[in-house]
Amino acid sequence: MPINSHDYTDTEVVNNSDEDDIANLVQDMAGGLDDKGDFEVSDGLDETDVDLEAINQLAIDNTQELYPGCKKFSKLHFLIRILHLKLLGGWTDKSFDMLLDLLMEAFPDGLALPKNFNEAKKVIKCLGLGYIKIDACENDCILFRKEYANCDACPTCERSRWKSKRRSLNGKRVHKVPCKVLRYFPIKRRLQRLFLSSKTASDMRWHDEERIQDGLLRHPADSPLWKDFDQKHPVFASDSRNIRLALATDGFNPFRSMNVSYSIWPVILIPYNFAPWLCMKQTNFIISLLIPGRRSPGSDIDVYFEPLIDDLLDMFVEGVRTYDSAKHEYFQLRAAIIWTISDYPGLGYIAACTTSGEVACIECHSYTCSLRLKQGTKICYMGHRRFLDPNHPYRFDTDSFDRKV
């Protein structure tokens, strides 16, 4: 994965000076774990100790020579470079394994590279950017979490949670395959990671410290909505590091084939604290949910938003203790969604707006000019003359239209 990838375009390759950036990032990550006061403890294991051990291993890999006598690359630097090339080139896991085998044969003995792609991923696993699998009802009724975590059937529609069940050869273990699985990428740790690099942590304050404030709309922070949000929530607005997010989602066919009726819905969070040229870069998008298909969840999409909303609500009210590598201090990081990005039908699913029927216009609401066809029983919208200039002749031409002024 690229480090500080917003500093270059997708077609550029990291230069040699990035070795210093990698060393600085490892140092920043370790600095954020010096204080063990308020970290969560689960199952008797201190999460901070696990992170410190992993980061210490990163520091060792960053000082280890790629092969005996190599002064240009460390093990970590070369591994990040080659993983970045895999991403840019779209290499398969098998082709990456074949390349590692070739490098093992070509380089001198003692080459400090992992044997395959899975071992390469373990090296950077300490970043903690995995996902959680949550079983879902086949009819989009509930998620099998919290009070429903141990249920074998949906309490609403009574459909089975499992697609298949089979026992192992010895008969002791039952292998269950769920009908539908939601993949949730925990948002708290991802937002905390934005402050682990001192450069990225500084960029998160750009909207307040470096934005030109001359009354022109140069950034979302200049919009009336942003200013109104700050007035309503002064505690949130008091720290410029608190994150304003946009939520974007839409369905797409992952198989690139029109004859396969399958759609999956990714939910993307976009942090608007960055400068305009960084806000909408793909490397700064944060994927939070992968909602499975085969069909669109429709108005039941709110069921799949539950884990994301729970975390964001906690972050908005309580915040999460976060280390700022730029200021070398801890603070309570808060986040809020202030925009959504979707197509028109998606607006009805996400923002609970009425986008169909007799009041389909989100601007006109109950004043929408709609007409139900007697034979086709469909709704059509014919009142376009209301948007003309006040003295336009069409407004008064009753004979050519619907006999109404």
Q: Give me 282's structure tokens.
A: 């793909």
Nearest to 311 by CA among 365, 273, 267, 263: 267
- What pLDDT is recorded for position 36? 40
Nearest to 301 by CA among 140, 192, 183: 140
- What pLDDT is recorded for position 400? 87
What does R_g of the chain's alpha carbons equal in angstroms?
A: 27
**Full DSSP string of 2-17:** -SSGGGS-TT----TT
Strand partners, 134: 182
Within its chain, how far is the Cα of 140 from the centroid?
21
Q: Is 230 helix (H, G, I), strand (E, B) or coil?
A: helix
Could you identify the residue written with the tokens 């699998």?
Answer: 133
How far apart, in Å, are the Cα atoms of 342 and each of 243, 265, 289, 346? 20, 11, 15, 5
Within its chain, how far is the Cα of 364 from the centroid?
33
User: H or E element: which one contains 335?
Assistant: strand 335-341
Residue-by-residue pLDDT tens, the chain, 405 positions: 333 433 433 433 334 455 556 666 665 555 555 444 333 333 333 344 556 676 677 777 778 888 888 888 888 888 888 888 888 888 999 999 999 999 888 888 888 888 888 888 887 776 666 789 999 999 999 999 999 999 989 999 999 999 887 776 666 777 888 999 999 999 998 898 888 888 889 999 999 999 998 889 989 999 999 999 999 999 999 999 999 999 999 888 877 666 677 888 999 999 999 999 998 888 889 999 999 888 888 888 899 999 999 999 999 999 999 888 889 888 999 999 999 998 888 888 888 788 888 888 888 888 888 888 888 888 888 878 888 998 999 999 988 887 888
Residue type, 12: E
The long-range contacts involving 370-373, CB below 8 angstroms and separated by at least 24 positions, are none
Cβ pair 258, 212 in contact under 8 A = no
- Domains of the chain: which residue ranges? 5-127, 132-181, 193-350, 354-405
Angle, to 10 degrees, between the axis of helix 47-63 and the axis of helix 18-31?
160
Torsion sign, CA atoms 148, 152, 155, 159: positive
Q: Establish how many alpha carbons lie within 13 A of residue 340's alpha carbon, considering only the half-sphere containing its beta carbon.
A: 15
- What pLDDT is recorded for position 187? 92
Nearest to 187 by CA among 46, 80, 317, 333: 333
How far apart, in Å, are the Cα atoms of 185 and each of 86, 189, 256, 290, 366? 22, 9, 24, 8, 39
Cβ pair 273, 294 in contact under 8 A = no
- What pLDDT is recorded for position 336? 95
Q: Give me 312's structure tokens.
A: 């964001």
Could you identify the residue written with the tokens 């099998």?
Answer: 144
Does the pTM exceed 0.85? no
Strand partners, 275: none
